[in-house]
Chains A and B, each alone.
Chain A
């Protein structure tokens, strides 16, 4: 199964403006770069990881700064 198919099957949608795979229910977002650079197993592990659903979790190659994280959280909450 392709990585994008794994994400879509887990109810992620693609945000074309931010190039992110997003699941608002679980508040998780995978960057296009992370998905490109990691294995399907890594992506699956991220999908299944237990996280606090009150705060967004970002799966990025480079950890977003607090400023970027704040802007993305605003974008994703408003979407």
Chain B
């Protein structure tokens, strides 16, 4: 019989954990919807608040784990798990098995959502999404929802809506082509788009708050 690989063991771990990951997503999404409900009710046209959730799929989870730098015996280069470090890998070290993204338009509402959620999840770790220049593009946090699981991490991020929707398209288009996506040329293009979308949102926000006769 063929020997079990690290990937086999991790796939087994994933499907053992899946019901727990699903419970964390439900719990996290429900808490986030509850704690942003008043903001949702207060939105004025054309403001928007959208809550999306997802369970990280098995292949993406394995890919995230193998790409991690600093793992024992391997820097993740070559994208191969080290068969001699079988016990060194666990999907429980991933911070985003259960994820919720809150898309907000315009940015003024983003700060409101961030402070509402931060006060509800005071112990969660802040790990913002940054651009090339290390400026914060979107606040992101990870932690646990003990009523759903004490060991599966959940993550939530609050993202300017236009940038978030751009990321969805960009991610699905470039996901498999990391070298191209990470090339300087594409990084510059991505930064241009993010900058333009931010400027557009700022422009809309200024327009909305300009008194009109």
Contacts from A to B (Cβ < 8 Å)? 2, 4, 14, 16-20, 29, 31-34, 36, 58, 60-62, 64-68, 70-72, 75
Which residue of A17, A62, A66 contacts B75 across the interface (Cβ within 8 Å)?
A: A62
Residue ID in chain A nearest B70 by CB atoms? A62
Which residues of B sit under 8 angstroms from A72, Cβ to Cβ?
A: 78, 80
Shortest A22–chain B CB gap in Å is 10
Interface of B is mostly: loop
Q: In residues 160-190 of chain B, which contact A (Cβ within 8 Å)?
A: 176-179, 182-184
Contacts from B to A (Cβ < 8 Å)? 69, 73-85, 176-179, 182-184
- Those 3 A-B pairs whose CB atoms lie nearest each other, nearest first: A62-B75, A31-B77, A67-B83
Which residues of B sit under 8 angstroms from A16, Cβ to Cβ?
A: 176-179
Which residues of B sit under 8 angstroms from A29, Cβ to Cβ?
A: 78
In the bound assembly, the distance between CA atoms of A68 and B74 in angstroms comes to 8
Which residue of A14, A36, A60 contacts B78 across the interface (Cβ within 8 Å)?
A: A60
A66 touches B84 (CB 8 A): yes
Which residues of B sit under 8 angstroms from A61, Cβ to Cβ?
A: 75, 77
Q: Give how many A-B residue pairs fall within 8 Å (CB-CB).
A: 68
B78 touches A67 (CB 8 A): no
Which residues of B sit under 8 angstroms from A58, Cβ to Cβ?
A: 78
In the bound assembly, the distance between CA atoms of A55 and B74 in angstroms comes to 20
B179 touches A32 (CB 8 A): yes
A32 touches B182 (CB 8 A): yes
Which residues of A sit under 8 angstroms from B184, Cβ to Cβ?
A: 2
In the bound assembly, the distance between CA atoms of A36 and B182 in angstroms comes to 9
**Among the interface residues B73, B76, B77, B184, which one has the most CB atoms of the partner chain A within 10 A?**
B77
A60 touches B179 (CB 8 A): no
Residue ID in chain B nearest A32 by CB atoms? B179
Which residues of B sit under 8 angstroms from A20, Cβ to Cβ?
A: 78
Residue ID in chain B nearest A35 by CB atoms? B179
A64 touches B78 (CB 8 A): yes
Which residues of B sit under 8 angstroms from A32, Cβ to Cβ?
A: 77, 178-179, 182
Shortest B135–chain A CB gap in Å is 21
B80 touches A71 (CB 8 A): yes
Which residues of A sit under 8 angstroms from B79, Cβ to Cβ?
A: 17-19
Residue ID in chain B nearest A30 by CB atoms? B77
A19 touches B74 (CB 8 A): no
In the bound assembly, the distance between CA atoms of A32 and B175 in angstroms comes to 15
Which residues of A sit under 8 angstroms from B83, Cβ to Cβ?
A: 67-68, 70-71
